[in-house]
Chains A and B, each alone.
Chain A
Amino acid sequence: MSVAINEVSTEVALAPEHQVVLDEILNANKDRPGATMLVLTLVQERLGFVSPAMQTYIAKTLNVPLSHIYGVLTFYSSFRMSPIGRHKISICLGTACYVRGGPTLIDKFQQVLNVKMGETTPDNRFTLEICRCVGACSQAPVVMVDDDIIGQVKPQDVAKSLRKYE
């Protein structure tokens, strides 16, 4: 396993500013039970993604196989391995949003941004995603832009609602 780790780590170097964050999270948590998941969720929360270089670094520091890190990352849907656009748009397709027009919003957002679900706009401004219920069902249909919840979204207001995100 150590061979594989070395091989991967030479591919892309870990950015120094990322290493600072990783070290901080790892130092605080590496000895806690169940550290893998804890560290990965915290890294995802702080940096928004866990790149292959970060995975290698985390595996080494926690002294676990890289395959374990990769296994955990691929099991949970909210981890990302590459950075997303400056703003993340998540269209809710939970039950409440589904019955109140969520699917229509998908069509509209794809038109307005001219990208498909899961993609990032060429100017790196938005990444478009689907999510399952953000717990704001009474405001359905709901779209989340970064941490902002936009409720009762109407297709005709989509373009306008995105203006303030640079």
Chain B
Amino acid sequence: MAYRANILISSEAPGADAVQAAFLSKVQDLQLEDEVQVLATTALMGAATQGIEALVYPEGTRYVNLTPADAATIVEEHLYKGRPVQRLAYVEPKVTPLPPPNTKEVRVVLGNVGKINPFDIEDYIAEDGYMALAKVLTEMTPDQVVEEMKKSGLRGRGGAGFPAYMKWTLARNSPNKPKFLICNGDEGDPGAFMNRSVLEGDPHSVIEGMAIAAYVVGAEQGYFYVRAEYPIAIRTLRVAIEQAREYGFLGQNIFGSGFNFDLEIRMGAGAFVCGEETALMRSIEGKRGMPSTRPPFPAASGLWGKPSNINNVETYANTAKILLKGGEWFSSVGTEKSKGTKTFAIAGKVKRTGLIEVPLGLTLREVVYDVGGGILNDKKFKAVQTGGPMGGCIPEQFLDMPVDYESLASVGSIMGSGGFVIMDEDTCMVDIARFFMDFVQDESCGKCVPCRVGTRRMLEILNDICEGRGQPGDIERLEELGKSIMRGSLCGLGQGAPNPVLSTIKYFRHEYEAHIYEKKCPAKVCRALIEYKVNPETCIGCTRCARNCPVNAISGKPKEAHYIDPSICIRCGICSQVCPVNAISVE
């Protein structure tokens, strides 16, 4: 590593770009460009972030609540004069593990994230990095590794929850050669960002896990498939792979064991279906990402028709820890069938959004209220959406259900990759169903008819309902269509696509009925069914609404009550957001 010091800035907090710019310009002012590297990353994020944060390495000083002026001070004092700025530092300026933001959290996969410098392999090694690989290659047979993985009970973290050891064994026993190993970093579920944080914050844990899996399977070449929307993750991985090669953890004859393994990165290009394993392999092959029927499963015939093992980022990230600490250690938390911890992305209408890692089996209520801090503005909880576009919406009555693969499936949803989007009373469930249907019909690759035509037809019906043209019988038509699409589709996309619609019909049928029979949107979201009005009594004539209206539908003189012209109004709701006196109501 050529740089003397690295500054990592949490890139997502509002205003972070200004702070980053301030760091950069001060570094340039003091002519430190060749010694100090300024990097933006999302890996510092978590439920416990305090404003804009920066970590300065090699010391590991954590600075919080930064302004651009603070940034200049830090460069001048800490990096130029070598004096950490106590005033801005968090607790104590030395490498300390971040306290878990919530007592319910247990960090395994995220253990190193935000704590080590992802651009310096030495940091990872200092946390026992690559020890598991050394142990596996020098002391264990592939069968012993499989045995340990079996004890751990680790199941795939990318969706279906298939036991990792079983998949590895299938690929291992496949007679054909060569074999390939693939890491699925496509993370296409909108509302999920767990894999991203791991790739950006602790890339070596994934590389090490892949090398171990490759040893079991007998693969010499591995591929990372990462979506193009994650440029920082891709840059981080490029550096990490290069360093792992330099240190001999990738390449020929690793640890003198005669085992060879190397990795390449392949980028996605904005096709959701490429998260599906067979489509992903076509994409790596350089083709259109069309899925194919299984069997044959990748373990028998995958990439270029050769036996291949594909796992999610998080599945691999757990592997090294399991082999170092033992399968029993891993399985000591979790439920009977769902072992270990899992990362979840908590987003939507909760007070604390962010990334968490908790033992499987926590209840939804604990996730929403204890970890998420409850609903934003203390509104009423309506549902939690899990599993992305192929998942479902879980209503309040199941809040005390444990979060594990089987329980989620039993109420018509799925674990998926672990994105939880929380919805409150202001979310319209019909609109959400329409949103997901729009997504999947857009992303359907078009290969099979039920998915291509069926999702389109369902979307048309949902659009009609949301726009006030719903008819009696629409709900039944949606249910019937949904069931046949699930039965007839070729891949998991079509098989799961109707899920958001079916689950919202199941639990929120009354909302559909209100749209169809009363032409009303109870949550006041569907634009064709609502109207914005100014209350002339309350309006103080500040003109703010009129200035912010995107279509100039609001008229009125300063200091006089304003008026919204319903024929021009597009019901975007900006006026009610900007009104200082709550004079605008929705009906």
Interface residues of A (CB under 8 A from B): 32-38, 40-42, 44-45, 71-72, 75-79, 93-101, 103-104, 107-108, 110-111, 131-140, 147-152, 154-156
- Tell me the bound Cα distance from A151 to B345 in angstroms: 16
Interface contact B419-A71, CB-CB below 8 Å: no
Known: A99-B421, A108-B574, A111-B550. A44 touches B269 (CB 8 A): yes
Q: How far is the CB of B373 from chain A (nearest CB, A)?
A: 12
Interface contact B419-A40, CB-CB below 8 Å: no
Q: What's the count of A-B pairs with C-beta under 8 Å?
A: 179
- Tell me the bound Cα distance from A132 to B287 in angstroms: 22
Interface contact B190-A133, CB-CB below 8 Å: yes
Interface contact A155-B14, CB-CB below 8 Å: no
Q: How far is the CB of A44 from chain B (nearest CB, A)?
A: 7
Interface contact A95-B419, CB-CB below 8 Å: yes
* One of A71, A111, A137 near B193 (C-beta < 8 A): A137
CB-based nearest B residue for A104:
B572
Task: Give the size of the chain B interface in residues (CB under 8 angstroms).
Answer: 66
4 closest residue pairs by CB, A with B: A94-B190, A78-B270, A76-B269, A111-B550
Q: How far is the CB of A162 from chain B (nearest CB, A)?
A: 12
Known: A34-B285, A99-B432. A136 touches B348 (CB 8 A): no
CB-based nearest B residue for A33:
B304
Q: How far is the CB of A161 from chain B (nearest CB, A)?
A: 10
Interface contact A134-B229, CB-CB below 8 Å: yes
Which chain B residues border A75 with CB–CB below 8 Å?
271, 288-289, 445
Query: Which B384-420 residues have a C-beta within 8 angstroms of A?
Result: 385, 388, 419
Interface contact B229-A135, CB-CB below 8 Å: yes
Interface contact A98-B435, CB-CB below 8 Å: yes
Interface contact B189-A133, CB-CB below 8 Å: yes
- Tell me the bound Cα distance from A63 to B358 in angstroms: 51
- Tell me the bound Cα distance from A79 to B289 in angstroms: 14
* One of B190, B274, B287, B304 near A96 (C-beta < 8 A): B190
CB-based nearest B residue for A77:
B270
* One of A42, A45, A94, A131 near B191 (C-beta < 8 A): A94
- Flag whether B192 is at the interface (Cβ < 8 A): yes
- Flag whether B283 is at the interface (Cβ < 8 A): yes
Which chain B residues border A98 with CB–CB below 8 Å?
190, 432, 435
Known: A107-B550, A148-B17. A37 touches B286 (CB 8 A): yes
CB-based nearest B residue for A90:
B229
The residue among A36, A76, A137 with the most chain B CB atoms within 10 A of its own CB is A137
Interface contact A78-B228, CB-CB below 8 Å: yes
- Tell me the bound Cα distance from A95 to B427 in angstroms: 11
